[in-house]
Amino acid sequence: MVTDQAHRPSSSERPEKRKNPLGIFGAMSHLALVIWAILIIGPILWTFLASFKTNTEIFGDPLALPASFGWDSWGRAWEKAHVGQYMLNTIFVVACSTAATMLLGSMAAYVLARYTFPGNRLIYFLFVSGMTFPVFLALVPLFFVVKNLGLLDTHLGLILVYTAYSLPFTVFFLSAFFKTLPTSVAEAAMMDGCSHTRTFFQIMVPMAKPGLISITIFNILGQWNQYLLPIVLLSGNVEDKWVITQGVANISTSAGYEADWPGMFAALSIAIVPVMIIYIIFQRQIQSGLTSGAVK
């Protein structure tokens, strides 16, 4: 008697079902990413092209390519609009504030993440609560605090404020990252006679390099694009101390009906180029830092 099993195809003879690893949701996510990339890259590309046009070309056919690629508008923005001076001021302020933020934030995050002491959670939540406090709500008291310290219209006052407003996110991010680092390495260093300071700077900081690079880039981007704090703390009486965002805004507001739109777009391009270069160079470190801190 022949059973049904004799006529069934073996597993090697059965046709394999093709599985689509992407699926409809994967395709939709990729489509959304493409649309998002176009929305981000399109305005940036248009800004660069507009910096080579004339006022007539910008308002005549905004989507057309410029008739010639001259650097006249870039020269006007750099010299006549003093964008070069504003750029140097911004580099100085952001470099100092980022360095202070990373030094203080990394030390605070390390202590809060690796040491247990009374008030640990309270201090951590106080830092984190700073992320929920809008900047514009503190502008008036902040103005008087900086004024009473004698730091109004100075780069030092702006650096201290930038550092204070960057610390909450820095501590929040690095605390989670330091918790993922192995404790055995730090314990071995302490057994070999390393102090807490030496263990932090020579052992833990190199291990936390991906996370430190990621948060450094985020702080640079946030402080570079800051406009509200500089306009409050650096008044119009100290134009030589303005940062790049104030300089770009001044180009569009001071010219009246004779606005130099190519010069303004050139100034915008000058402001965009440095942070774009930094991100392109360190994009792998940023991605690795974000993913390393997410998995223990």
Q: What is the pLDDT of residues 14-45, one digit of tens each?
A: 555 555 555 787 788 888 989 998 998 898 89
In a domain, 198, yes or no: yes
Torsion on CA atoms 164, 83, 250, 155, rounded to nearest 10: 30
Could you tell me the CATH number of the domain that includes residue 129? Answer: 1.10.3720.10
In a domain, 240, yes or no: yes
> How open is the CA angle 238-240-244, to the nearest 5 degrees?
105
| Separation between Cα atoms, residue 233 and residue 142, nearest integer Å | 9
In a domain, 264, yes or no: yes
pLDDT for the residue numbered 290? 59
The domain of 87 spans: 73-292
Q: Is residue 157 within 8 Å of residue 233, measured between CB atoms?
A: yes
- When divided into structural domains, the chain yields a total of 1
H-run or E-run covering 47 = helix 23-50
Token pair belonging to 72: 């006249």
Nearest to 224 by CA among 296, 154, 276: 276
In a domain, 139, yes or no: yes
The proportion of the chain whose per-residue pLDDT surpasses 90, expressed as a percent, equals: 29
| Separation between Cα atoms, residue 48 and residue 71, nearest integer Å | 11
Torsion sign (Cα): 103, 107, 113, 114: positive
pLDDT-flagged residues of the chain (< 50)? 1-2, 6, 293-296
| Separation between Cα atoms, residue 161 and residue 288, nearest integer Å | 29
Q: Is residue 289 within 8 Å of residue 266, measured between CB atoms?
A: no
pLDDT for the residue numbered 22? 56
